[in-house]
Structure 1
Amino acid sequence: MFKRKVSLILTVALAALLAFGSMASAESRIVLKPKVDAFAYFVDTSPSMSQTYDSTGNPKIIAGLNALKRLNNVVPELGYDSALYAMPDFATYSPKSMFTRAAMAKGIASVPSDLPFFQSTPIGTGFSDLNGVVKNWGGKFAVIFVSDGLTNSGRNPALVVSDMAKTYGDRFCLHIISVADTARGKANLKRLASLTPCGVYVDASALADKAVLDKFAQDVFYTQEEELIVEVVEEVVVPVVPVQEKIVFRNFNFGFDKYQITDEMVPALTEAATMLEEFPNLKVLVGGHTDSSGSEAYNQGLSERRAKSVADWLAANGIAPKRLEVKGYGEMNPKYDNKTKEGRKLNRRVEIDVED
């Protein structure tokens, strides 16, 4: 991907001035991108949630809400919508609106912790009620379910969630924060998380660990991408009028074992070529990378093919080949964790860097 940001300071006389030369510097930054367009916290307030959670000694509902508060404190505000619901009597504690940590914290604080004793636990019915709301949501959405996994009435929750997964496909992710103490409860919740390919299961007590908390938040809500910012400053005769161009190159990511240019890459490549034409003396290094799947020798060749495909596209679209250095790094320079699906996806990349 490629993005251009320009900051210009101009005067009427600029057009009449003669430029003497230019200087370039580069730095990188990590930017966060939302994985979903909306999400819902969904809290189980059935009678079994008033029982003690062995891992903390608190009632399960307290342990679950505390875990939700910890999570809420680290969720970045990236423009997605959010809501907070509870079951078995389907209730709204924070209506769907643009997410802010402060507003959602008020919703979490309003969820009751003094639970009724005589009531059934129909988790399947709860998800049916939730489906009646999220069926009107567009884009990708996630549900973060806080529960002990104990159900004793209504439809099998796995069947309800399975139907939702079939209806929404990869638009829907179900994640679990578990306060289960029984083998049956844990098995039920892990089963629910597995019904969507992106589902993540975590024990509520584990979220007290900052590293686990941050990883869960990233798995659910956002990705990290590295951008290279190239700053070119042109020098002009007195009166000095600095002209700053900031060019941000993002990585081009490829599918597994792929090196061909896709239609999705063309708009970004076109903009990249346009900017490079504006700076005809700027030389670039096109570097290809892979994840750790496959042999080292195969990955070296694949990385070279990926870099060459990007360079060939640029050359075919007006950039002089002599300005383009092509290099393959194989699997040797990962920037993300190859142990995760998301990390491997981000490592299958081509980077465009400005040469000094």
Structure 2
Amino acid sequence: MQKMLTLTAALTGLVLSGCATQSSNSFQAFQADDLNAQVKSGLLVQKTNSFFVLNDSSSSMSKTYLNSADYSGTKLDVEKNLLNKFNHTIPDITLSSGLRSFGYGPCTDWSTSHLNQPLQSYSTSGFESAITSLECSSGGTPLAEAVEAAKGDIASAPGNIALVVFSDGMDETSPVPAAEALKAQYGDRLCIYTVWVGNEADTAGQENLQSIVDTAGCGMATDVNAISSAAGMSNFVKQVLFKPGNPVPDCSQLDEDHDGVNNCLDKCPDTPTGAMVDNHGCWSYHGVFFDFDSDKIKDKFHPLLKNAVEVMKLNPSLTVEIQGHTDSVGSVGYNLGLSERRANAVENSLIQNGVDDRRMTTIGFGKSHPAESNATEEGRAYNRRVEFIRTDR
């Protein structure tokens, strides 16, 4: 009888520990989708601040992964390839990350799980070292114990947490109670994501993985085929780390006031309909409206003022401030008075052409508001200008 008990114990230990199967650290060539532009534009908004991986390193993962044109080798090799793809698809955001493997025997230091990388600031190279530390697979599949251990692993995790499980799901005991306890501790901060890495004989494991996702109440359950491609993996990374956002429009492609100057360059973004604008998008007439030391509008500039009259008629609720400006030649006081007289002259011209004077005010700025450098004749000519600033908004 004693011999029988000894033999039974020995066989049980052999089953639990298994023979450790070594894994390859050679990864598939992979060109990840670049998600940085979507993050920068606001199309993707970060929702997760920390992710922690539980990786199945039990003896069942030493079996060859079958029926896949994408992978050869063991199921553990497949897990590591997927983790590598996940790692290289993560865009440039601030994260914390860590990894724990579960099984039994030499691959997990003769414990049901092993902390391969404590929670730390995430980097691509740093997390790659965690992946390559998954050297072998052995023993049973104690996912429940790994989930229990994760309660302490993520205790210092900032913000929202994603627990990401890679496994065939062929657990020895249900992981649901451990998942319930984990969820109770971290509440809405925690979501669970699972990746089924199994063969046809392991389909029951999909239900086990789905059950802990359901327990968390948020996250998703997926499988190898869904996330193997660049597009599939980028979608998975989006699901785990991001939520949809409102993208920041490209201002160079927008012209909201329809004046022909895009929003990036438009310094006057509310130009009224029909206004003649300068290269800054402002309703402004540059050049010499007046002879030197004169406030009489030269005849050749009357077509420009006609445009101003048309704009006022096209926009009957529009009110404006007519601003006069000069170049830097002359004293401050003299230019201030000259700019005021010229603004008044433009207002009088509009009144004579039927614009109600109650819709207009005038002001002179002299040489205090140059639009271009006064160091050149071209710049000084550009600064001798009259601007119309709407005051109805």
Return the TM-score normalized by structure 2. 0.50
2:157 aligned counterpart, secondary structure: coil
Q: Report the Cα distance in structure 2 between the residues aligned to 1:195 and 1:55, rounded to whole angstroms.
A: 31
For 1:227, the equivalent position in structure 2 comes to 248
For 2:63, the equivalent position in structure 1 comes to 51
TM superposition shift of 1:142: 0.4
Q: Report the Cα distance in structure 2 between the residues aligned to 1:97 and 1:214, rounded to whole angstroms.
A: 23
Deviation by residue 1:56-87 (Cα, 9 ceiling, x = unmatched): 35311111111111111111121011112211
What are the within-5 Å matches in structure 2 for residues 1-356 of structure 1?
29-56=41-68, 57-88=72-103, 89=111, 90-112=113-135, 114-116=136-138, 119-153=139-173, 156-181=174-199, 182-225=202-245, 226-228=247-249, 229=251, 230-231=263-264, 232-233=266-267, 236-239=370-373, 323=393
Distance 1:55 1:30, change over 3 A: farther
Number of corresponding residues:
215
Q: Where in structure 1 are there 5+ consecutive unaligned residues?
A: 1-27, 242-280, 283-319, 324-356
1:77 aligned counterpart, secondary structure: coil
Question: Which structure: greater strand fraction?
Answer: 1
Compute the RMSD of aligned alpha carbons. Answer: 2.7
Work out whether residues 39 and 80 of structure 1, in 8 Å CA contact, stay in contact via their aligned partners in 2: yes
TM superposition shift of 1:54: 2.1
TM superposition shift of 1:224: 4.3
**2:93 counterpart letter in structure 1:** L
| Structure with greater contact order relative to length (CA < 8 Å, sep ≥ 6) | 1
1:139 aligned counterpart, secondary structure: coil
Q: Report the Cα distance in structure 2 between the residues aligned to 1:122 and 1:84, rounded to whole angstroms.
A: 15
Distance 1:238 1:227, change over 3 A: closer
Q: Report the Cα distance in structure 2 between the residues aligned to 1:62 and 1:150, rounded to whole angstroms.
A: 17
Q: Report the Cα distance in structure 1 between the residues aligned to 2:85 and 2:147, rounded to whole angstroms.
A: 24
Q: Where in structure 2 are there 5+ consecutive unaligned residues?
A: 1-39, 104-110, 252-262, 269-279, 281-369, 376-388
1:195 aligned counterpart, secondary structure: helix
**2:95 counterpart letter in structure 1:** Y
Distance 1:58 1:233, change over 3 A: same
1:200 aligned counterpart, secondary structure: strand
Distance 1:238 1:59, change over 3 A: closer
**1:101 counterpart letter in structure 2:** T
Distance 1:95 1:163, change over 3 A: closer
Deviation by residue 1:154-207 (Cα, 9 ceiling, x = unmatched): xx3111102212222210011011112322111111112222222111112332
Identity of aligned residues (%): 21
Q: Report the Cα distance in structure 2 between the residues aligned to 1:240 and 1:107, rounded to whole angstroms.
A: 62
Q: Report the Cα distance in structure 2 between the residues aligned to 1:237 and 1:78, rounded to whole angstroms.
A: 40
Deviation by residue 1:26-66 (Cα, 9 ceiling, x = unmatched): xx944542111111122111111111222435311111111
